[in-house]
Structure 1
């Protein structure tokens, strides 16, 4: 059985493999010696490529960490679209976000180290928030469609409510992550998100 999606050609598979190798080399250096202390030249050397080749795959050093954020947003959107049509909006959004979280690789300690790097580096924090705005552009239309179909809302009302829910959900991710880092992961991130959402919905 096929998915209907074209199989990437050899050139594209090679490009993806090199992209992944550079990202892995960069992340290893970032976690070992710090994001700001790591240079593009060091990443290129660790990946066995030239500085010029690095910039064929990544526009900035920040993109080594956050380069797939837009793709993640589309995966969340696909997960949201796949949720049952009558599911309550907040439940559907939560399930879509958790589907992405289940993709996370590495153990709890590595997740904490990456989280501390993201939230402790101003340039990474800014880029992360910027790309969350791009997530809204993907998620709001899908949630608005669900609200129109399930509740018979007009376009303006559905868009307004969907935008409010998605913006709040993403803000709750940031708040939950801050707390999760502060308690060194002692409380599961998803529980902290649930608590944050419950607080704003109370």
Structure 2
């Protein structure tokens, strides 16, 4: 066995364990005190780490709270591309969203409280919308292909409209999910949101 590889694997596991522990600490602090009220110094003190250690593990307080999401847009894009080629864009994007919905729904009440925090905290909601803009750009070529449109044609609004409507439905779903103490399933809420947003094509 290569000792360098073994040491590298041990360091990676130790770093991952530290990230997980710090993330729990951040969640505890923001759920108790609020996102804006919780500082990096507060986190470091509670986790008993230095600021330099914190920034070796995370790029920001938000990443420490919700985890890195760099791969999420690509995952959704790949799930969309894997849908049947002749499936309507709106149907395809609804099915492609299932893994994302399952990520939220597969967790406990703590996840719903953190999601409520994201929805109701202006700074977090703004960052969430910034992420949606990246999702939009990655999904546009596949949605345009399914519409028979040119993704480079800025004068054709159809792909942008489909993606914006779908992501808007996801945001409305998360807001509705966190608004009740006895929520329905996310899938049910998303189906309701996307059902009302779907408008059949105007007859010729």
Q: TM-score, normalised by structure 2?
A: 0.78
Secondary structure at 1:113's aligned position in 2? helix
Structure 1 residues 138 and 65: alpha-carbon distance in aligned structure 2, compared to 1, 3 A threshold: farther
* Between 63-72 and 47-56, the greater mean CA deviation after superposition: 63-72
CA contact (8 A) 2:101 2:186 kept: no
- 1:49-80 deviation per Cα after TM superposition (whole angstroms, max 9, x unaligned): 21122123333322323452332112111211
Provide the residue aligned with 2:73 in structure 1.
73
8 Å CA contact 2:113–2:178 kept in 1: the answer is no
User: What residue number does 1:5 align with?
Assistant: none
Aligned residue pairs, count:
189
**What is the rounded CA distance, in whole Å, between the counterparts of 2:92 and 2:165 in structure 1?**
14
Map of 1:97-136 to 2, 5 A cutoff?
A: 97-104=97-104, 105-107=106-108, 109-136=109-136
CA distance in 1, matches of 2:24, 2:172: 27
- Backbone CA RMSD of aligned residues: 2.6
- 48-57 or 16-25, larger mean C-alpha shift: 16-25
Q: Which has the larger radius of gyration?
A: 2
* Cα distance in 2 between the residues matched to 1:20 and 1:195: 35
- Aligned mates of 1:131, 1:76 — CA distance in 2: 13
CA deviation vs aligned residue, 1:71-90 (integer Å, no higher than 9, x gap): 21121112112222222212
1:53 is aligned to 53
Q: Secondary structure of 2:83's match?
A: coil
What residue in structure 1 maps to residue 161 of structure 2?
Answer: 164
State the 1:118 CA deviation: 0.7
The C-alpha deviation readout for 1:12-69, integer Å capped at 9, x for no partner, is 5554444333223212322233222322123223434211221233333223234523
CA distance 1:185–1:174, change in 2 (3 Å): farther
TM-score normalised to structure 1 length: 0.78
* Structure 2 unaligned blocks of 5 or more: 1-7, 200-204
- Hey, what's the Cα distance between the residues in 2 that align with 1:135 and 1:144? 14
Deviations 1:70-117 (A, max 9, x none): 32112111211222222221221111111122233421x223211221
